[in-house]
Amino acid sequence: MPAPFILSPSLLSSDFGRLADELAALEGAGLRWVHLDVMDGLFVPNITFGPPIIAAMRRRSKLYFDTHLMIERPERYLAAFREAGSDLICVHAEATVHLERAVSEIRRLGAAPGVALNPATPLSQVEYLLPQLEMVLVMTVNPGFGGQSFIPFCLDKVKDLAAMRRERDLSFRIQVDGGVSPDNTAALVAAGADVLVSGSAFFGHPPYKERLDVFQAAAATSPT
């Protein structure tokens, strides 16, 4: 039995000129989630896309839209992302002064709330919020670009977060994002990650069905 985990391909590494085709190819390959990296040029140096593009993709896809907001003061845009069709909305703890308010607002809007932590941000930033969250995103690179190398100490952070989840009998998902590949999949799943985001190591190796099989085979070698 392969270890149960969700692969959420990061569209950042797809062909932006063929988004509808890419989404259809993901669905055809058996993927259920897609990771949407929204960057504002302030919180991170890069700029990607916003609600209008997500709304256009929503009209063409039934995938679960896992939306990673790398934007300053995300509370300004939560309703817009929800209306565009985001199923899960993940905000960075470092990007807002009022994190609890943002999380409550995401839930009120009918989306699943997540909080992302940069590599150097301690888990204590989110510990009191854990019962309200559907997901915690442990960034395993500094956000902003695809194709970076996994930061090794982040594996311990995933283990520590999984221990908190066990001790408190909570059920939020743990997502990892950045430098994820079949090479570190087994270690991440063993550490407690349930949702693996992969950009370059996924889209760079078509066909997508075969690549999903490679990740699943890698996860199946995990000791848990």
Residue 2 or 72: the one with the smaller Cβ distance to Zn ion is: 72
Active-site entry in 37, 40, 66, 194? 37
- Extract the tokens encoding 106: 């995401």
CB of residue 196 to ligand DX5, shortest distance in Å: 9
Q: What angle do CA 146, 152, 153 make, to 5 degrees?
A: 120
Which tokens hold the place of 58?
């929503």
Q: Is the backbone peptide bond immediately before 182 cis, with ω within 30 degrees of 0?
A: no
Q: How far is the CB of 192 from ligand DX5 (least distance, A)?
A: 19
Q: What is the DSSP letter of 149?
A: P
Question: What gap in Å lies between CA 93 and CA 75, rounded to an integer?
Answer: 12
* Burial class of residue 89 (count of CB atoms within 10 Å of its CB; 0-12, 13-18, 19+): buried
Which is nearer to ligand DX5, 17 or 131 (by Cβ)? 17
**C-alpha dist (Å) from residue 170 to 6, 14, 130, 141, 223:** 18, 34, 8, 26, 22
d(Cα 1, Cα 59) in Å, to the nearest integer?
35
Rounded CA-CA distance 97/147 in Å is 30
Question: Is 199 flagged in the annotation as binding?
Answer: yes
* Closest distance of CB 58 from Zn ion, Å: 18
**Residue 68 vs 157, nearer CB to Zn ion:** 68
- What is the smallest separation between the CB atom of 68 and ligand DX5, expressed in angstroms? 5
Which is nearer to Zn ion, 99 or 137 (by Cβ)?
Answer: 137
Query: What character string, x for contact with Zn ion (CB under 5 A) and - otherwise, covers 40-79?
Result: ----------------------------x-----------
The annotation status of 10 as a binding-site residue, yes or no, is: yes
List residues binding ligand DX5 (CB under 6 A).
Answer: 10, 12-13, 35, 37, 68, 141, 143-148, 177-180, 197-201
Could you tell me which stretch among 34-42, 84-92, 99-107, 151-159 binds Zn ion (CB under 5 A)? 34-42
84 close to 61: Cβ distance less than 8 angstroms? no
145 annotated as a binding-site residue: yes
Which of 15, 40, 66, 177 is the catalytic position? Answer: 177
Q: For 164-181, b where at least 16 C-beta lie within 10 A, e where not — what string?
A: bbeeeeeebbbbbbbbbb
The question of whether 37 is a catalytic residue gets the answer yes
| Binding residues vs Zn ion (CB under 5 A) | 37, 68, 177
Active site residues: 37, 177
Residues placed in the known binding site for substrate = 10, 68, 144-147, 177-179, 199-200
Residues placed in the known binding site = 10, 35, 37, 68, 144-147, 177-179, 199-200
